[in-house]
Amino acid sequence: MRILVAEDDAALASFVKKGLESEHYAVDVSTDGEQARAMAGDLDFDLMVPDLNLPRLDGVSILRFLRTRKPSMPILV
């Protein structure tokens, strides 16, 4: 399972990534909203875990974009 974590707090992103990887998930981390939107739109992820308060593009805007392009993609806020 491949997971995208969108989080601008480096320490929190690292903590979440390490925890998920210890459970054998493949994890990619994005540090800003525009990068997260591009990655989620272009690549195949099984789950996205976005921060709603990201720089450059907020998490709600990412959610709206993804619901039009990938309506069945699971998102855990």
Domain-by-domain residue ranges, the chain? 2-69
- What's the whole-number average pLDDT of the chain? 97
Model confidence over 25-61: pLDDT tens digits? 999 999 999 999 999 999 999 999 999 999 999 999 9
Structure confidence at residue 21 (pLDDT):
98
Burial class (CB in 10 A: 0-12, 13-18, 19+), 71: exposed
CATH 3.40.50.2300 assigned to domain 2-69? The reply is yes
Distance CA 57, CA 14 (A): 21
In degrees rounded to 5, what are phi and psi of residue 9?
A: -85, 110
